[in-house]
């Protein structure tokens, strides 16, 4: 397969405020005939990006469709309805005709409609002459991580590193298997100093190539380096110190990833501290939350997510070994209440939060490894929609969890990355698609690569 190359010619600058982007929550829908009710046999596809400004009630939309069987006649948001249900029109997007095209514009949204969309109870339909009730449809959900082409599906991404010892520069090559544009290769960063921090830092609806560069010595200034898809420039944020852990997410709910780090204290009993730069205001947020531990037998790790469904990522840690041990500890952004929920096991589990049941809230989840590398991996998911635990065997213990929405149905899929047996052998992404419960295996990368998709597993 032919690989397209990105030539990264960039401009450096210290950024105080990101210019020219809307401050709005971002929602996506990936559109297919299989999601229609009843199912429509069509090869047409599409996607919708919706930006909503809660304070002004403004909704800005872009809908792209391709390959309809006949001319497009209408497009809407329908709400409230879950996957598999149908309901009347809530917001009209209009028509441009043709079998392929782009619809864009601005309209208004009510607080009730916003709440429904946050709960994943809104879907986008594109109607055609042949299918007046809708030819392609998709459920709206928050932006998927590692979505470099912005179509509402998580892409597969690996990094390759040349064997150049520090202080030499070991340039990182991104190999992205984008779901709409195909394979893309891009060189950016230094493997001896950098760690990937995927996110949409410029608010254009697509993930940027982003890295967190640790300072040269203990306590030295660290920084985020971000190659923006919107204008092809590189932004630089001096943020954090050597020893901090990157924790960039959208904490202020404006649809833009905030640069952030998680800092442990000097002593086991010290509180951990979150340093967050709110993209909506440019202001720093500094908040103590979590415990340091001894770093080996007991410690907290950051697991931010939108656990309360308000459109903002909550501060959250998983507590390994400390009292109370094996707990999800979450500070809800909606009301600042701190909750403790025992779930998982210290010695055997990966912590893999995500919205597996599609209700707009992150679920507590753990992937349990067995005694050997070939032992099955068992996934335990406490579903926020009904407070029941789902268990499922998928993958093997030597795999790396890479949960995410690969099929575009606004639910996290159970997924693993299986590294090749040798440095040059093919690696495989195995995905259990939540929409149709089928398993896909995609060869991407080789055994010596690092999977960017594993960024949200601890």
pLDDT in the model for residue 452: 96
pLDDT in the model for residue 225: 97
**Phi-psi region at 390: left, alpha or beta (left = phi > 0; alpha = psi -120 to 50):** beta
Place of tokens 């047409």: 44
Nearest CA to 291 out of 258, 266, 259 is that of 266
pLDDT in the model for residue 324: 85
Alpha carbons 101 and 87: distance in angstroms, whole number:
25
> What is the DSSP code (8-state) at residue 33?
G
Cα distance from N-terminal residue to C-terminal residue, the chain: 33
**Residue 432 is encoded by which pair of tokens?**
């259990």
Residue count (the chain): 458
**The dihedral of CA 352, 355, 357, 361: what is its sign?**
positive
Alpha carbons 125 and 90: distance in angstroms, whole number:
11
pLDDT in the model for residue 346: 83
pLDDT in the model for residue 436: 95
The ranges of the chain with pLDDT < 50 are: 1-22
pLDDT in the model for residue 5: 37
**Residue 226 is encoded by which pair of tokens?**
């971000």
Strand 101-108 and strand 426-432: the pairing is unpaired
pTM recorded for the entire structure? 0.91
pLDDT in the model for residue 23: 61
pLDDT in the model for residue 17: 37
pLDDT in the model for residue 181: 81
H or E element at residue 118 = helix 111-118
Alpha carbons 183 and 226: distance in angstroms, whole number:
20
Place of tokens 């779901």: 179
Is residue 54 within 8 Å of 114, Cβ to Cβ?
A: yes
pLDDT digits (tens, 9 = 90+) for 84-98: 999 999 999 999 999
pLDDT in the model for residue 19: 38
**Residue 119 is encoded by which pair of tokens?**
């709960």
């Amino acid at each position: 397969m032919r690989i397209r190359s990105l030539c990264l010619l960039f401009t450096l600058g210290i950024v105080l405020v990101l210019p020219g982007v809307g401050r709005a929550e971002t929602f996506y829908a990936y559109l297919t005939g299989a999601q229609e009710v009843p199912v429509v046999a069509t090869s047409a596809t599409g996607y919708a990006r919706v930006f909503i400004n809660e304070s002004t009630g403004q909704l800005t939309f872009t809908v792209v469709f391709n390959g309809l069987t006949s001319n497009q006649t209408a497009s809407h948001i329908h709400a409230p309805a879950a996957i598999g249900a149908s309901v009347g029109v809530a917001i009209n997007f209009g028509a441009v005709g043709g079998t392929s095209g782009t619809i864009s514009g601005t309209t208004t949204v009510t607080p009730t409609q916003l709440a429904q969309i946050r709960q994943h109870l809104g879907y986008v339909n594109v109607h055609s002459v042949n299918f007046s009730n809708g030819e392609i449809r998709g459920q709206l959900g928050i932006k998927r991580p590692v979505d470099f082409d912005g179509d509402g599906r998580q892409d597969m991404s690996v990094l390759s590193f040349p064997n150049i010892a520090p202080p030499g520069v070991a340039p990182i090559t991104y190999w992205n298997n984008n779901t709409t544009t195909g394979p893309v290769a891009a060189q950016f960063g230094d493997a001896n100093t950098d760690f990937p921090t995927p996110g949409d830092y410029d608010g254009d609806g697509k993930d940027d190539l982003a890295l967190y560069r640790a300072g040269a010595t203990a306590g030295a200034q660290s920084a985020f380096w971000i190659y923006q898809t919107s204008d092809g420039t590189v932004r630089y944020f001096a943020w954090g110190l050597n020893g901090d852990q990157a924790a960039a997410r959208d904490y202020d709910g404006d649809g833009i990833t905030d640069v952030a780090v998680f800092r442990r204290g000097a002593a086991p009993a010290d509180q951990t501290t979150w340093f967050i730069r709110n993209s909506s205001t440019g202001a720093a947020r500094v908040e103590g939350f979590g415990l340091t531990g001894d770093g080996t037998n007991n410690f907290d790790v950051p697991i931010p997510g939108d656990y309360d469904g308000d459109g903002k990522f909550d501060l959250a840690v998983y507590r390994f070994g400390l009292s109370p041990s094996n707990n999800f500890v979450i500070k809800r952004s909606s009301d600042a209440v701190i909750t403790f929920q025992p779930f998982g096991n210290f010695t055997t589990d990966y912590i893999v939060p995500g919205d597996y049941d599609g209700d707009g809230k992150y679920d507590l989840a753990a992937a349990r490894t067995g005694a050997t590398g070939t032992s099955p991996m068992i996934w335990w998911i406490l579903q926020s929609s009904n407070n029941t635990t789902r268990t499922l065997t998928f993958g093997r213990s030597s795999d790396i969890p890479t949960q995410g929405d690969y099929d575009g149905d606004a639910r996290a899929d159970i997924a693993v990355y299986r590294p090749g047996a040798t440095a040059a052998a093919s690696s495989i992404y195995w995905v259990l698609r939540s929409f149709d419960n089928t398993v896909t295996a995609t060869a991407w990368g080789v055994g010596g690569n690092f999977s960017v998709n594993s960024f949200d597993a601890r």
